[in-house]
Structure 1
Amino acid sequence: MVNPIPDSVREVWNKWNVRGVVLFSLSLQAFLILFAPFRKTTARKLLILLIWSAYLLADWAANFAVGLISQSRESNSSDSSAQDNPNLLVFWAPFLLVHLGGPDTITAFALEDNELWLRHLLSLIFQAIATGYVFMQTIPDNKLWVPTTIMFVVGIIKYVERTRALYLASLDQFRDSMLKNPDPGPNYAKLMEEYASKRDAKLPTKIIMIPEPDKESKPSRTAVKKGKLTDLEVVQYAHEYYQTFKGLIVDLIFSFRERDETREFFYERDSLDALKVIEVELNFIYEALYTKVEVMHSKRGVIFRFIAFGALAVALGLFHFEIRKTGRFEPFDVRVTYTLLLGGLSLDVIAFLMFIFSDWTFATLINMSDQESDTQNMSRRPEQEPTVQESAGTQKKSFLKSFVSSILSIKKPRWYEYETEFGPETKVKHHVLITPILLRRWSRTISVHNLIGYCLKKRPSKIYQVKSWSRLILENLISFCGIHLVINKISELINTVIATVVFCKDYIVRNLGSNKEIQVLLFPIQKVMGVLGFLWNITCKVFGWIGSFLLEFFGLEDLIDEIRFLSHEPFTKELWDLIFTEVRRKSEIANDPETVKRISSARGEWFLQDRYLRVDRNKLMDYVVNVDYDQSLLLWHIATELCYQTEPETAENCINRKLSKMLSDYMLYLLIMQPTMMSAVAGIGKIRFRDTCAEAVRFFKRRHLEQDTVKNACRNILSVNTYVKPIEVKGDRSKSVLFDGSMLANELKRLEDDEKEDKWEIISKVWVELISYAASHCDAKTHAQQVTKGGEVISFVWLLMAHFGLGEQFQINEGHARAKLIVGK
C-alpha cells in the first residue's frame, strides 16, 4: 500500500516534531504569563478566546512532547541528530513538567477547573513516572544527569504548586478554609447539674450570660477611619473584608456583628472610595480562585519558589559547563536548550515582579508591619522612650508605606470629564472611567443589548460618545508633534483624487454614453459584469445559507448575536453614585431581618411606595408587583427605550435619562446573554424575549420599517392604540410583552406636568431596584465566574449590598461566651 504521506514530509516531521512542540510549549507559557491577567481587565471575546485556546494547548503541548521524547528513545527514528543527542532530548523532558505546572497568572480558566485538582494530581504522578522512565534509560551514560535531576526537581515543585492551587480554590476546600473552630457553647450539661444541686439545696440561684469578649472592645486594626482613604488604605481594607466576606462565594452565613462592622465602615465612605474597595476586593477573589496567589503567599510557597529558581540557575550553569567541556551536541539543539533555560528564568523573573507588585503582597507586607509595630507598642510602658531599634523600625515602616503608596497611586482609577452642551451657558458634566488596560483591575465597561435594535438588526448606538484613553493620548501626541497638519494635507489630496475620478466617470457617461461605437465596445463588458454580479449574488446566498446552517447546527447563533448586537458602554461615576446612594438609603432603615428581607426582595415597589412620590402608584405598581421578574424587566426595558427614543434630551433629564437607558440595556444583556448568571431569576425570560422579538419583527414588516431607524420604529409602536390589554385579545399562548411595554411607556408619559421632571428619576431608581434584586438572588458562584471575563457591574452591586448588610446571608445573632451561676438574691 502506498504511503499517502511523502517521504520529505516525514523527514521534516521526524526532525522537527520534538523541537517544534517544545518551543511551542515555551511560547504558550510566555503568552499566558503575559496575557492571562487581561482576562479580568477586558470583556473582549477575541482576547478571552485566545487565552482559552492557549490554556488548553499548553497542557496538550507539554504532554505530547513528553510522549514524543519517550518514543524517540524506543524507536529507530530516521532523525540522525536525535540519535546523536539522546541525553539532550532527555534533558528537555523535565522542562515539560515545569510547563505543566503552568504560569503563576493562570491555574484555572473556569471555576469548574478547580474541581479537577485530583485529576491533576494523578497526572502529576503519571507524568513524573514517564519523565523518570525516559531519564533512567540514559543511565549511566548520560553526561547531563546532574542538571537533568535538578530540572526534574524544579518540574515537580512547579506541578505541585499548580495542583495545590487548584485544591485550595476548589469550592469544598474554599468553604472548609472559612470554617472556624467548633464551638460547643457553654457546657449545658454541667451547668444544669450544678443548677439542679443548688435548687435541691433550696438556694436562690440564677443564671447570667457573659457576652463574647470581642463585643466589649473592637480591635484597633478594624477601627473605622473617617474621611477619604489613601490608596494604601483601600488595599488594606479590601484585603481585610475579602478575608471576611469570601465566604459569600460558598454561601456561608455571617453574624450581625460582622454586618454592623462593615456597615459602619461603608457609612463613612463616599461612593468613589466604596468603588475602590470593592474593585480591589473582587481582584482578590479573582487571584485566589484562578491563580497561584494562595500558594505563593505562604511561607512554604516562597521557600520552594526560591529553591526552584536557584535550581534552575544551577542547571543553566552546569549545562553551560558541560557544553564547553564536551562540545559533542548538535548546535541547534544546544540553542534550543539555552532557550528553554533562559526562557524559564525569564518567566520566573516576570512572575516574581508580578508577585512583588501585586495588591496581595502590599496588603500582606503592610499588615505584618502594623502588627509588629502594635506588638512593640504594647510591650513598652507608656513612660518609656522608644529604643533606637524601634525608631529604626518606625522609619523603615514609614519608607515602606511611602513606596507602596507611590506604586498603588499608579493603579488608581482615572476619570475623564466631558460635557454635553444644551446652549451657550448650559452644560452637563459626565465622568467616565478610562483607566488604561495595563493598570485596570476590571474591564470598566458595561455590556448593553437592545431589543428593538436587535429586531431591526442594528447594533446598539453609543450612549456616551467618549474616546478611549489610548485615543486621547494619540490625539494629544499628534497635535503636539504637528502630525495633524500632514494628515490634513493627505486627506485633502485623497479627496481631490476621488473628486477627479468621479468627474471623469461622469464626463465619460455624459459625453460618450450616446456614442454607438462606444456602446458596442462596452456591451460585452457590461454583459460580463452583469454575469459576474449575478454569480456573486448567488455565491453570497449559498454561503450565507451554509453559514446559517452550520451556526444553527453547532449552536453558535447566540455567540454570533453576542458579537454582532452587543455594545460596550464606559462605566460612569454618575451611575455608581446613583446605585451607591440608593443602596445606602435602604440600608439605613434595614435594622431587623424582616426589613432586610423585604428590601432585598423589592423589584421597584419599594421606591414607588415612597411617601414623597406624588405619581399614581397603582398603575405603575402593576408592572413590578403583579408580574414575574423577567416579565417586569422586559416591560421596563421596552418602556424605557420607547421614552428614550421619542422624547428630547434636556439639561434637567440628561443624567437620569442616560443612566436609565444604560441600566435598561445592561439588564437585558444579563437576561439574554448571561443566562447562567441570571438563572435564579430569569424564569422564562428567553421565551418572552423570543416571542416579543417575533411580534416586533412582524409589526415592522407590516409597516415596512425593516430598514428604518430605531427612533421611528419606537414612534410607530407608541402610535398603536392600547385601550384593551393585549392579553385580553391574544390570550396567554404568546408570551410577548411588546405592547404591554408600550402601555407602561404611555403611563409614564401621562405623569402630571409637575412630575415630568422626575419621570427619568423614577425610571432610573426602579432600574436600581431591579438590578439590586438580581444581584442578591443570583448564585454567588456566578459572580466569582464573571471576574474572569472583565467583571460585571452586578457583581459590584452584590458586594455593595453585602457590605451594607442587605441580603439573607446575615443570620447569626449575638452569641454568649459562657454562662455563670449566681447564688443568692
Structure 2
Amino acid sequence: MDVDGLSVRVVALWNDWQLRSMILLSLWLQIFLTIAGSRRKYTAGIWLGTLVWLAYTSADPLATLSLGTITRNQGGSICTTKNESITPAFWSSMLLVHLGGPYTFTAYAVEDNELWSRHVLQLLTQLSMSFYASLRSWWSMDPLRYLAIPIFIAGIMKYGERVLVLWLASSNKFRDSANEERKLLREQLDHKISRDELDNRDTTRYDEVLGFDGIRPEAKHLHEAHFLFRTLKLLYGDYLVTYPTHMISSYIILKSKSAAEAFELIGVELGFMFDVLFTKAMTGVFWRPRLFLRSINFLLSASALLAFWIMARNSKAYSEIDITISYLLLGGAVVLDIYSVIWMLLSDWTMLWLSKQRKPLPESICQFIYSSRWLSFLIHKKRWKESMNQHAIHKQIEQRIPMGNLFSKGHNFRRWKDDVDCGLEELIFKRLLDMRSRYSCQDDQKMILAERGDHALENYNRCSEKFGWSVVDIDFHESFLLWHIATWFCHVGHTESPLVKVSRSLASYMLYLRSDMPFMLPKEMGEAKYMSTSVEATFQVEEGQTEGSVLSDGRSLASALDLLETEDGWSDETKWEMISQVWVEMLTFAAIHCGWKEHAKALSQGGELLTFVAVLMSHLGINEQCIYK
C-alpha cells in the first residue's frame, strides 16, 4: 500500500472523527460523573477516587476543546453531511449543556468551590463561542438551526446553576450562610427555652420547640439530622455554638439512642453537608427558582429530542452517523435529567421537605416511599459504608508468624479495609459520654480535650507510671507509631477477641491516616521528622534489624504490656481493654484537633471515621467552639 495514500486516509479519517469522538467522550464523562458523583458520597476507594478525578479534570477541557474545534472549523470539512455547518452548530449547544455538569457533581474538593469566579468567566467565554457557531449557521434554510435554541437556553441555565452552587459553597458565602443560621438558631432556641430547663435537663418542650411534633416516625431522624447539620454549619463557619444549641444537640444524640443509631444519625447529617458542598442538591434560599428552572431544562431537552426525531425521520440531509450521534447526545441529556430527578426525589432533602408539609398528598407520597421496600432500600443505601481503611506496618505481623521470623526480608506494608462494627462504636460512644460527664467548667474542657491515652492509663493501677512515657513524654505521632508496633506485637498469637480486633483496627486506622491522610492529624511532628522515622522503620523491617529507636521502643512497650499478665496477674481481657481505651483516646484526640476544612476534604472522598467522631464530640459539647455556660 502506498505510504502517502495511507497517510491521506488517516488524515481524512481523523478529520471525520476528531469532533465526533471528542463529543462522544464528553457525553460518556457526563454519564460517569453523574453516577460516580452520587456514589462517592458513601463509597471510598482508590480506584473510584482516581477515576472520578480523571473524569472531573478532563470533562471541562474536553468540552471546551470540542467547542473550540467547532468554532475554528465552522464552514470547513468537519463531517460528511450535506449541511456541514449545521450539525456542528447544533452540537455546540449540547457541549454547553455538558459544561454545566451533572446535578450529582459540582466540585471534586472543597477548594474547587473557591473557583466560582473563574467559572463565571468561562461561562461568558463558552457562551460567546457557542453563540458564534450558531450564528454562522443561522442563515441556512435547514430547520435544525431552530433546535439549537432550546438546547442553548438549557445550557445557559445548567451552567448558570453550576456557577451559583459553587458560589454558595465557597468559604466566604458559606460563612455568611452560617452566620444567618446562627441568628435563626438563637431566635428559635435561646429565647424559647429557659436556662433552668437546660440546666435541669427538662426536655419536655424540646420536640415542640424544634418542630418535631407530629413528624412521621420514619422521617423523624431526618429532622434530627438536619438540626444537627445546622449546628455543623456553625462549626464549619468557625462560629461558636451557644449553650442552648449544643445542649439540644446532645439531647438529640442521647435521646433513646444506641451508639449505632447515633453514628447512623451523624451519617445522615454528613450527607447533608456533602450535598451542600459537592452537588446541586435543592438546598438554601434559591431552591424554589432552581427547581422551576430545572423543570424547564428537562422540558427543553425532551422537546428538542422529540423535534429532532420528527426532523431526522423526514430528512435525508445528514449522514446516519451524525444522526446517531445527535440522538445519543439528546437522549443522553434526557436520560441523565431523568436520573437526576429520581436522585432528587429519593434524596433526604426531598423526604425532609415532604414530611414537613403535613398535607394529604405529601403524606401519601411519604407513606408510599417508606412502605416500598425497594425505594426504602435505595434511600438507606445512600449512607456511609461503615468501614475504615487499614495500614499495617508489616504484612507478616498480620499473618501471625513466629516472633523469630517477624522481620524477614521481601515484604512490604499492606493496606486493606475493616468494618466499623457495633463493638467499636459502643467503645467510642462510651468514651465520649465519659468525657462529657467530667465537664464542670471551661478549664475542664481544655484538660479533657488534651487527653491522648494518659487518662486511660490512669484508670488502671500503676499503668500511668509504667507507660506514661509513651503517651505524654513524646509527641503524638511518635506515640501512636510506638503503640501501633506494640499492639501488633501483642496481637501475634492471640485469639481474635472483640477487644483485640478493636485495638488492632484502630492501630491500623491511625497509621493509615498518617500515611494517606496526614492533613487530618495534629501537626505536632514536622513532616521531615516523621518521614525519617517512617523510613527508619521501613528499613529496619526490610533489612531484618530489630534493634533501633522506633522498633525497639515499640517492642519494649509490647514486652512491658505482656508483663502485666505474667507478673501483675492481669487477665488477657483486662490488658486488651486498657489497650483499646488508649487507642480510642488517641482517636478522639486526633478527631477534635483536626480542622473542619480538613474534615470536609475527607468528606469528598467517602468520609472518615475520624470525622464522625469529631462531629459526635461537637454535638455533645466536647469542643472548644461550644460555649459551656
TM-score between the two structures when normalised by the length of structure 2: 0.87
Q: 2:431 aligns with which of 571, 582, 603?
A: 582
Aligned to 1:279: 267
Pairwise CA distance, 1:81:
1.7
Match of 1:399 in 2: 364
Structure 1 residue corresponding to 2:484, chosen from 616, 621, 637: 637
Aligned position for 1:43: 44
1:605 counterpart (454, 459, 467): 454
DSSP 3-state at the match of 1:568: strand
The equivalent of 2:500 in structure 1 is 657
The one of 505, 527, 536 equivalent to 1:691 is 536
Q: Mind listing any 5+ residue stretches in structure 1 that lack a counterpart?
A: 184-210, 374-392, 413-435, 463-559, 702-716, 721-725, 727-735, 814-825
Note if contact 1:231-1:408 (Cα within 8 Å) is conserved in structure 2.
Answer: no
Q: Is the 8 A contact 1:671 1:682 kept in 2?
A: no
The residue aligned with 1:17 is 18
Counterpart-to-counterpart distance in 1, 2:361 and 2:282? 27
Cα distance, 1:441–1:18 mapped onto 2, change above 3 Å: same
After TM superposition, the structure 1 = structure 2 runs for residues 310-709 of structure 1, keeping only pairs within 5 Å, are 310-367=299-356, 369=357, 373=358, 393=359, 395-396=360-361, 398-406=363-371, 439-453=381-395, 460=398, 565-610=414-459, 613-646=460-493, 648-649=494-495, 654-678=497-521, 680-683=523-526, 684-698=529-543, 700=544
Q: Relative to structure 1, is the Cα distance of residues 38 and 787 closer, same or farther in structure 2, using a 3 angstrom cutoff?
A: same
1:301 Cα offset (Å): 0.6
Paired letter, 1:170? S
Matching residue within 764, 774, 784 for 2:600: 784
TM-superposed CA distance for 1:682, in Å, is 4.8
Q: Distance in 2 between matches of 1:223 and 1:338?
A: 49
- For the residues of structure 2 that align with 1:32 and 1:331, how far apart are their CA atoms? 28
- Aligned-residue CA RMSD (Å): 2.9
Report the secondary structure of 2:417's partner residue.
strand
1:726-747 Cα distance to aligned partner (Å, 9 max, x none): 7xxxxxxxxx322112222222
Shift in alpha-carbon separation, 1:687–1:808, aligned structure 2, 3 A? farther
Distance 1:153 1:287 in 2: 26
Structure 1 residue 444 displacement after superposition: 2.3
Q: Using the alignment, how far apart are the partners of 2:499 and 2:374 within structure 1?
A: 31
Change (3 A) 1:182 1:109: closer
More moved, 233-242 vs 768-777:
233-242
Query: More displaced, 656-665 or 331-340?
Result: 331-340
Q: Which amino acid aligns with 1:608?
A: L
- Conserved? CA contact 2:81–2:318, under 8 Å: no
Question: Contact (CA 8 Å) 1:165, 1:292: kept in 2 or not?
Answer: yes
- Note if contact 2:274-2:603 (Cα within 8 Å) is conserved in structure 1: yes
Quick check: 1:91–1:148 contact (8 Å CA) kept in 2?
Answer: yes
CA contact (8 A) 2:246 2:626 kept: yes
Equivalent residue letter for 2:265: V
Q: Aligned in 2, Cα 1:54/1:94: closer, same or farther, shift over 3 Å?
A: same
Worse overlay, 306-315 or 752-761: 752-761
Residues 123 and 111 of structure 1, relative CA distance in 2, 3 Å threshold: same
One-letter amino acid matched to 1:406: S
Match of 2:180, SS?
coil
Deviations 1:402-451 (A, max 9, x none): 23433689667xxxxxxxxxxxxxxxxxxxxxxx9992422322111122
Whole-angstrom distance in 1 between the partners of 2:626 and 2:373: 33
- Unpaired runs of 5+ residues, structure 2, are 184-188, 195-204, 401-410
Contact 1:445/1:568 (CA < 8 Å) preserved in 2?
A: yes
Give the Cα–Cα distance (whole angstroms) in 2 for the partners of residues 353 and 212 of structure 1: 39
Identity %: 31
Corresponding residue of 2:120: 121
Distance of 1:656 and 1:80 partners within structure 2? 67
Counterpart in 1 of 2:249?
262
Residue in 2 that maps onto 1:176: 176
Aligned to 2:156: 156
Alignment-derived partner of residue 723 in structure 1: none
SS at match of 2:627: strand
Specify the SS of the correspondent of 2:74: helix
CA distance in 2, matches of 1:452, 1:339: 50
CA 1:42 to 1:459, structure 2 compared with 1: closer, same or farther past 3 Å? farther
5 Å matches for 1:228-267?
231-267=218-254
Deviates more, 1:395-404 or 1:328-337: 395-404
Question: How far apart, CA to CA, are the structure 2 residues paired with 1:356 and 1:264?
Answer: 30
Q: Are the structure 2 counterparts of residues 163 and 295 from structure 1 closer, same or farther at C-alpha, using a change threshold of 3 Å?
A: farther
Match of 1:289 among 274, 277, 281: 277
Check 1:793–1:408 CA distance in 2 against 1; reply closer, same or farther (3 A cut): farther
How far residue 587 of structure 1 moved from its aligned partner, in angstroms, is 1.0
Contact 1:98–1:158 (8 Å) recurs in 2: yes
Which residue of structure 2 aligns with residue 302 of structure 1? 291
AA partner of residue 161 (structure 2): E
SS across alignment from 1:84: coil
Task: Report the counterpart of residue 215 of structure 1 in structure 2.
Answer: 193
| Counterpart for residue 737 of structure 1 | 550
Report the Cα offset of residue 349 of structure 1. 0.5
What secondary structure, in the 3-state scheme, does the structure 2 residue paired with 1:737 have?
A: helix
Deviation at 1:254, TM superposition (A): 1.0
1:97-155 CA distances to partner (integer Å, 9 max, x unpaired)? 00000111111111111111111110000000011011111222253232211111000
Q: 1 CA distance for matches of 2:531 and 2:618?
A: 29
1:49-68 superposed matches below 5 A: 49-68=50-69
Q: Offset at 1:212?
A: 5.0
**Aligned-pair distance for 1:354?**
0.5
For 1:167 and 1:5, the matched residues in 2 are separated by 51
Within the alignment, does 1:138 sit opposite 2:137 as a pair? Answer: yes
Taking the aligned partners of 2:587 and 2:619, their CA distance within structure 1 comes to: 16
Aligned residue type for 1:334: I
Q: 1:407–1:575: structure 2 CA closer, same or farther, 3 Å change rule?
A: farther
Distance (Å, rounded) in 1 between the aligned partners of 2:329 and 2:620? 51
- Establish whether residue 106 from structure 1 lines up as the match of residue 99 from structure 2: no
Residue aligning to 1:762:
578
Is the radius of gyration larger for structure 1 or structure 2? 1
User: Does the 8 A contact of 1:447 with 1:669 survive in 2?
Assistant: yes
1-structure distance, mates of 2:399, 2:90: 57
**Residues 27-36 or 291-300, more deviating:** 291-300
- Alpha-carbon deviations, 1:166-225, whole Å to 9, x = none? 111112211111113998xxxxxxxxxxxxxxxxxxxxxxxxxxx952234756153789
Q: CA deviation at 1:317?
A: 3.1
The amino acid that maps onto 1:667 is: M
Taking the aligned partners of 2:82 and 2:523, their CA distance within structure 1 comes to 61
Question: Amino acid of the residue matched to residue 557 of structure 2?
Answer: L
- Asked if the contact 1:234–1:273 (Cα under 8 Å) also holds between the matched residues in 2, the reply is no
Quote the Cα distance in structure 2 between the aligned partners of 1:223 and 1:128. Answer: 45
Aligned amino acid, residue 7 of structure 1: V
Aligned length: 592
Q: Distance in 1 between the 2:585 and 2:6 partners?
A: 65
Residue 260 of structure 1, CA deviation? 1.0
Separation of aligned partners in 2, 1:308 and 1:622: 64
Instruction: Give the equivalent residue in structure 1 for 2:588.
Output: 772
User: Which range moved further: 673-682 or 354-363?
Assistant: 673-682
